[in-house]
Structure formats: structure tokens, C-alpha cells
Structure 1
Amino acid sequence: MNCSQNCSINCGGRNETCHHLTGVCTSGCAIGFEGEKCESLCRKGTYGQNCTQICNNHCGGPHKECHHITGECTSGCVAGYKGATCKSPVPLTLMDYLHKPFVVFVASMLAVFLLCVIAMVIFVLTDGTDDLGVKSQRDETKLEASQIHSGSDIQGEYDMQDLVEPDKDSQNETRNYDSKYSDWYDRTEPEKQGPEESRSYFTEISDVLKEDGQRQQEIGSHSYLGSDEQEAKEPLETEL
């Protein structure tokens, strides 16, 4: 009544006019305000004339807030932008790149790949070394076995030669003994000789027979002694 109330100072227009009965701002609100009587600030995320402008998406904070009149970001800017309204991009540093999820994922995959390659190289090198060591040990074992086998063959050949080849001294004695008989048989037969020659011939034969008997006795005595020595050795070996 009596037009005692004033229109809101936030009403827009030159004369800040409002309805004469209700007080509603007929020309809208001033920058940064909204409502019928322009008594409320712009809601979060908006600013400007009639709060129709949106705060920059690069503003920081959970709600991307900015000043209701100027639009300046009140919580700063996200990484990579600067300025009052966070519209100016800035170059990212290495640490900024490393904090990006995609970069972190790629770096993790590369690290896993490098670890796998290093593990494979170590496995191949160690396995090859073990194979060489086993092969060298096998070669040494084969060489020792071949040397032992060759030595046994050589020893066997010497033993066979000892068995097959008789004593040269005994061969010489037998050969000398046979030569005596061959000399006697090569002579003329007794009946073709005279009495004196026949007597001498038979005397020589009797001497040879005596020598032959003595030789047989010596051989028998050696054999008997050899058997006694063998029998004496057997109990000793049994006791050992």
C-alpha cells in the first residue's frame, strides 16, 4: 500500500523496475541472479545474465564451480589448463603424463613384457650351461670306459699270446733233443754197419735214453712241486 516498498536491486534494466503490485522484476535479473524478484544467486555451475551461461568444464572441484557473475573458477583448474576461467591449455610435464590412466596401463604392460623377456633369456642361458655340463660329463665317462675297455683288450691279447706262444727255452730244448734223434736216424741202419759201429750206435742210444729218463724225472718233480705250491696257496687265500 502507498508504494512504500522498493523493487529488488537485482532487478535488471536501467530503472530496476518491477511489478507495482507483486514486485516481480519485469525486465529480468541482474547478472548473477535469478528468481522472480532476483533475490537468489545463480545455482552451481552457472553464471552470467539470467544464469544462462555454464561454468567452464576445466574448472576444478567436484561441481565445476565458478563465480556467479564473472564465471571465474573458484576451485582452480584441472591439470593442463590455466587462467581465471581455465580456458588456456598448458603443456603437460612427464609426471602429468604418468598420472594418466592410459599411460599407466601402457607402462605396466611394457614392464611385464620386459620381465618376461629377461626371465626367458636367463632360463635359456642356464639350461644351455647345464646341458653342456651334462654332455661334457657324459663324454668323460665314455672316454674312461673306452680306455678301460681298450686296456682290457690289450691285456687279453698279451695273455692269449702267453698261452698260445710256448716258452722259447723249452722250444729250444725240444728242438735240440729232436735233432739228436734225427741225427741218429739219419745215420746208416745198424744192420748195414759193422759190429764195432753197431755197438757204438747202441751205446749212444742207451745214453740218450738215460738222459731222456732223467729229463722226465725232472719235469715230474717240477710239476709235483708246482702242485704243492698251489695247494699251499689255496688255504692261505681261503683264510684271507
Structure 2
Amino acid sequence: MRTRRGMDLILIGIGTGDPGHLTRAAESALRSADLVLIPDKGADKADLAALRDAICDAVASDVPRGRFAVPERRADDGYLTGVEAWHDALAAAWSAAIPPGAGRVALLVWGDPSLYDSTLRIAARLRPAPRITVIPGITALQALTAAHAVPLNDLGAPVTITTGRRLRDHGWPRGADRVAVMLDGDCAFRTLDPAGVTIWWGAYVGMDRQMLDHGPLAEAGPRIAEARAAARARHGWIMDIYLLARAA
């Protein structure tokens, strides 16, 4: 994917929906940009673009913005193959949206670019390779534990961070009493034996529509599945995350 020689790409973590998640370093990096690229995910997810616009309006209103349409991800040839093709298409969309001489281009990344986000992998596809700067942000995992006022780990114990797909296909990760689950589109917690398991769940964490629930998995699980389905139908999209703890 061709980009402009000498381009600087700034990946700015913006947290999970609360404009207060933006750090001073993020504000400074945003003001230093020559262009901010805003992803357009269609009408159903227009509020995600609107939040990025609101951040730019508040912090760097004079920095020009460009938009790119987020291509549809297909899984006809399997999950990983589909994701790789999707990343190729996203890199091409970035390149097409960056005008000659853009200089410093910023992308506002939901959460943090390091945790279950592919912005860095997409950026690695650009040619010639841009100079990349990453500004860390508050992750959905931090926002979830803060919203529930619980620690991520038990005393001196490990935590496994995984996806709903892997939880569904492989079960409870070996060697962990606490498991944080991201990218779960089908309530994979329903595949677990709920005995002795506690769940802390959150959707739209950090946004004004934030939803929270917690309790024994046997009791809270059905509530969460029902609330999740209703919220997705109401808003057209949902992003959620949960933490599971199993009694020793």
C-alpha cells in the first residue's frame, strides 16, 4: 500500500467513550497533527465517528480531518484469512484517504493500540513504511474494572486475557483463576460450567449509555445475554467486555 514518503503516523489511544479518558500527551499529539483520519463505519455506528469528531472539536478544531470508509470484513475462507484480507483493505483505504504532503497523520484508536486492536498491524502494511508514534490510552479492561471498582487480579495471581472465540472453542484457560474476555459476539460464557464463577460485565463502557452487571454466573449470565441482545437491537451495535473469576 503506497503512502507518502516521510509521513509520520500517530496512533492515539482515546479510551472507551469518555472524553475525559484523553491524556495530555494525547491532546498534544492531536494538536500536532496535519490531518486526522476518521473511520466511517456506516449509519449504525455513526456515534463512534461522532465521538472522534467531538474530541477533535474540543482539542484540535483547526486540524483538518479526512474520512475513510471501513470495508466489510468477510469470513468466507475462515476467520484468520478474512481478517488478513480485511487489514489489507483497510491499509488501502488509509492510503487513498491521505493526500500528498500530509506530513503528520493521526488516527484516534478506541481504547489502546496495544490491546486487541489491529491498527499497528494495518500500519505495518503501508509502503513506504511511515514513522509510527503510539500514544497509549485507557483500555476497555481498565474501564471495566474501574466501573465495577474491582481489582483485575487476585492477590499474587495471574490473569488471562482472551477472546470469546477462544473461550468458546477451548474452555477456561489453564492455570488462571481470573479471565478477561474481549471480542465476544455470542456470550461465550454460556458454554462454561457456571458453578463457582463470578462475572463482571460491561457494555459501552465509558459512554453515557454504559451498562453494567455482575454476580454469580448462573444468575447474572442469563440477564446479561438478554440485556446484550436488547441493546444491540436498540443501537445497531455493541461493544462489551467481561471479567470472570473462578473460586479456587
TM-score, normalised via structure 2 length: 0.19
Pick the structure with more helix per residue: 1
Greater RCO, 1 or 2 (C-alpha within 8 Å, sep 6+): 2
Pick the structure with more strand per residue: 2
Which protein has the larger Cα radius of gyration, Structure 1 or Structure 2? 1
TM-score, normalised via structure 1 length: 0.19
